[in-house]
């Protein structure tokens, strides 16, 4: 019997992006086996500018053209201001 | 009353690197003193970054809030510190960074670096500080008596490298 695969991804928002959109994390169902980070951004985003946004998949920084697989964690965050 | 504790940092792979993200305030001098006792290098540099009493617009600051991306922040710091300690085998590094609410003049960050020569200790101290400002997922939010706003960019270095 074929095991049932999840087609969900976890989306994490941080800092001002979480505040602007009003949530910190959500699970989304993706259609097909993969999806571009950019498509997720379009799905969740209202009107935030895309400039200066840092994205990560499974906590590794990547770019908007990277592909997300089921069970991945994708995060959107503004420029870092620590130290 | 100022609270402080001696930080129970986990050494990263070897005893030359120690770092921790703290949710409570700390006494950087006590932490440095304890750390210095266990490393025997002759050149020691350290930096303490504190909360300014005003925000990015010049208003009186009530408190600073720092958030991080749990897991990713720790991994990025750990990986970076391991990379530079491999380049320089006499280097010892100690890094503490606050998250949560921090009040004016309380410490945000302590970086201590020791090596056999002052040039190496100073060079890596500066490099680690800039790394924590630009390459690690930390964000600052300033709270004043009128409201709050996210810090959009880091303050300048203060001189040209």
Section A71-80 average pLDDT: 95
Segment A21-48 mean pLDDT: 88
Read off the pLDDT band of B72 (50, 70, 90): very high
pLDDT of residue A5: 64
Secondary structure of residue A52 in the 3-state scheme = coil
Query: Chain A residue with minimal CA distance to B149?
Result: A16
Quick check: A62 pLDDT over 90? yes
ipTM, interface predicted TM-score of the complex? 0.89
Task: Please list every residue in chain B whose beta carbon sits closer than 8 Å to the beta carbon of residue A75.
Answer: 69, 72
CA distance B131 to B32: 20
Helix ranges restricted to H, A1-83: 15-21, 37-44
Q: What is the pLDDT of residues B113-124, one digit of tens each?
A: 999 999 999 999
| Of B111, B91, B99, residue with least CA distance to B74 | B99
The overall average pLDDT reported for chain A is 89
Spell out which residues of chain B touch residue A12, defining contact as CB-CB under 8 Å: 69
Residue B102 contacts residue B116 (beta carbons within 8 Å): no
Smallest Cβ–Cβ distance between A80 and the set B49, B75, B136 belongs to B136
Overall pTM surpassing 0.90 (yes/no): no
pLDDT range class, residue B23, cuts 50, 70, 90:
very high
Residue B139: which of A59, A75, A81 has the nearest Cβ? A81
What separation, in Å, do the N-terminal and C-terminal C-alpha atoms of chain B show?
Answer: 39
**Minimum CA–CA partner of A52 in chain B:** B152
């Amino acid at each position: 019997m074929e095991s049932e695969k999840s087609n969900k991804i976890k989306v994490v928002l941080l800092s001002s992006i979480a505040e602007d959109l009003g949530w910190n994390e959500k699970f989304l169902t993706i259609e097909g086996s993969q999806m571009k980070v950019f498509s997720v951004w379009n799905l969740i985003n209202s009107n935030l500018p895309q400039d200066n946004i840092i994205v990560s998949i499974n906590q590794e920084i990547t770019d908007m053209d990277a592909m997300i697989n089921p069970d991945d964690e994708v995060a959107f965050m503004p420029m870092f201001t620590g130290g | 009353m100022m609270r402080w504790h001696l930080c129970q940092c986990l050494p990263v792979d070897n005893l030359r690197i120690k770092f921790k993200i703290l949710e409570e305030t700390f006494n950087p001098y006590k932490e440095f003193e304890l750390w210095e006792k266990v490393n025997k290098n002759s050149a020691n540099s350290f930096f303490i970054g504190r909360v300014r009493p005003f925000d990015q617009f010049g208003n009186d600051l009530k408190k600073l809030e720092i958030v991080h991306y749990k897991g990713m922040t720790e991994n990025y710091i750990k990986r970076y510190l391991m990379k530079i300690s491999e380049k320089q085998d006499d280097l010892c590094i100690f890094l503490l960074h606050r998250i949560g609410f921090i009040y004016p003049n309380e410490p945000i960050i302590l970086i201590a670096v020791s090596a056999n020569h002052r040039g190496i200790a100073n060079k890596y101290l500066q490099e680690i500080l800039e790394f924590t400002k630009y390459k690690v997922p930390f964000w600052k939010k300033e709270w004043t008596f009128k409201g709050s706003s996210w810090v959009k960019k880091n303050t300048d270095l203060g001189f040209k490298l």
